[in-house]
Amino acid sequence: MKNQFKNNFAFRPIILGRIIYMNAAPVYYEIDKCPKLDWLKIVSAPPSILNNMMAKNELDISPVSSIAYAKHQDEWLLLPDLSIACFGKVMSVILVSKKPFEKLDNKKVIITDKSAAAAELIKLLFSIKKIKPVYETRPIQCPDEIKRYAEAALIIGDKALKENWHVHFDHIYDLGEMWLELTGLPFVFALWAVRKSFADKKQETVSLIIKIFNISREEGKKNLEDIAKKASEILGIDIAICRKYYELLNYNLDSMQLKGLRTFFDKLYHEKILHQKVHLNFLPTPDP
C-alpha cells in the first residue's frame, strides 16, 4: 500500500493543504505515517487560510470550506466522496451566548476568523429567523474576552472542544444540531478541491492523490482509537471527548450529504447571502 505513496515527478512538489484542527486527522492518517516525500509538500493551516491560499493558486489540492467552493466553483473541482460532515451534533462548531438565540437581534456577535463555512452557517440561521446581530470578525482568545466585547461568539475547532464553555455562558448552541433541526439533513463543513488548471495538466497525478486519500481515510477509520489517543495527548482533552467527537464526524460525501450541501447553498442564495447559484463539479472517480 505504501508503494502508492512513493512516486517521483519531474516537476515541483504537489502542494497539498491540510486543516490544522484534529477533525482532519482520520483523512491524513496513513499519509502521516509515511516518510517525507520529495514530491509532496503539505501545508497545515486553519480553513480560512487554506481557502485564501487556494484562491491565490498557492495550493494545488486542499480541503476548503464549503462556502469557499461556492465562491470559486468556476476555478475548482471537487474530489469525489470526500468531506468533513456531521449529521446533527458536531461539538466543534458552537455559538456561545449570554442570551438566548432569539434575543441577539442588534447585539454584537463575534465571528471567528478561522472558518468560512461556520461563519456563513450562523449568518444563515440568524437570517432565516429574521434576527439581525451586529457581526464583528476578530480572533477569539478566551471566554472573558468574549464577555467584555460581545453578547455571543462563534467558536470552532479545537478551541470549541478544549474549553468548558458551559461554565462561562448560559446558552451553548451546536450548529450541527441547529442545521439538522432546520432541514433534517447532514451539514458539510469542508470539501476537498483541486484547482482546475492543475487538474487539466496533471490528471494522472490528481487521480493518484485521490487514491491516496481514499487509502489514508479508510485506514484512519479503522484506527480511530489511536487517533483519539494522539489528539487527547496533544490537546490535553479527555480521550472520551475525542472518541465521541470522531464518532460524530463523517468523511464521505454520499447522497444525503450532497443533498445537505445543495440545501445549504440554495438557502444561502434565497437569503441573498450568496449571489449566485452553486453547481457541484467533480473530478471523475478514479478506477480502483
97 lies in the same domain as 65: no
pLDDT at 115: 79
Q: Which residues, in sequence order, are CB contacts of 240 under 8 Å at separation 6+?
A: none
Q: Are residues 70 and 114 in the same domain?
A: no
Tell me, what's the pLDDT at 34? 79
Give the total residue count for the chain: 288
| Per-residue pLDDT at 3 exceeds 60 | no
Percent of the chain with pLDDT over 70: 94
- Nearest residue to 65 via CA among 46, 83, 47, 44: 47
3-class SS of residue 40: strand
Indicate whether 112 and 138 sit together in one domain: yes
State which of 155, 183, 211 marks the end of a domain.
183
Looking at 161, 183, 205, the residue that finishes a domain is: 183
- Residue 33 in any domain: the answer is yes
286 is a domain residue: no
In a domain, 282, yes or no: no
**275: in domain:** no
Verify that 79 and 148 share a domain, yes or no.
no
Residue 163 domain flag = yes
CA angle 51, 53, 55 (to 5 degrees): 70
> Which DSSP state fits 282?
B
For residue 204, being part of any structural domain is answered with yes
Cell numbers at residue 288, please? Answer: 480502483
- Please count the structural domains in the chain: 2
The range of the structural domain enclosing residue 230 comes to 2-85+188-270
Q: Is the pLDDT of residue 129 over 70?
A: yes
- Please give the mean pLDDT across all residues of the chain: 92
The CATH number given to whatever domain includes residue 239 is: 3.40.190.10
Over residues 184-199, mean pLDDT: 97
Instruction: For residue range 230-246, list pLDDT tens digits in order.
Output: 999 998 999 999 999 99
Answer yes or no: is pLDDT of 12 > 60: yes
Task: Check whether residue 172 and residue 192 sit in a common domain.
Answer: no
| pLDDT tops 50 at residue 276 | yes
76 and 100 inside one domain: no
Residue 192 lies inside a defined structural domain of this protein: yes
In a shared domain, residues 166 and 202: no
Are 40 and 167 in a shared domain?
no
The tens digit of pLDDT for each residue in 16-55 reads 999 999 999 999 999 988 767 778 899 999 999 999 999 9
Residues 69 and 101 in one domain: no
Cite the DSSP H helix spans in the chain. 29-33, 47-55, 66-71, 116-128, 143-149, 157-162, 175-183, 196-201, 203-222, 224-235, 239-248, 255-270
Q: Which residue has the cell 466585547?
A: 149
According to the per-residue pLDDT averaged within each range, which of 6-10, 89-93, 143-147 is highest?
Answer: 89-93
Q: 81 and 192 in one domain?
A: yes
Do 220 and 77 have their domain in common? yes
Looking at the domain assignment, is residue 287 inside a domain?
Answer: no
pLDDT at 100 over 60: yes
Task: Clarify whether residues 210 and 243 are in a common domain.
Answer: yes
Q: Give pLDDT tens digits for 198-218.
A: 999 999 999 999 999 999 999
Scan for cell 456563513, then name that residue. 120
Which of 183, 212, 236 finishes a domain? 183
pLDDT of residue 37: 72
Which grid cell is 95? Answer: 455559538
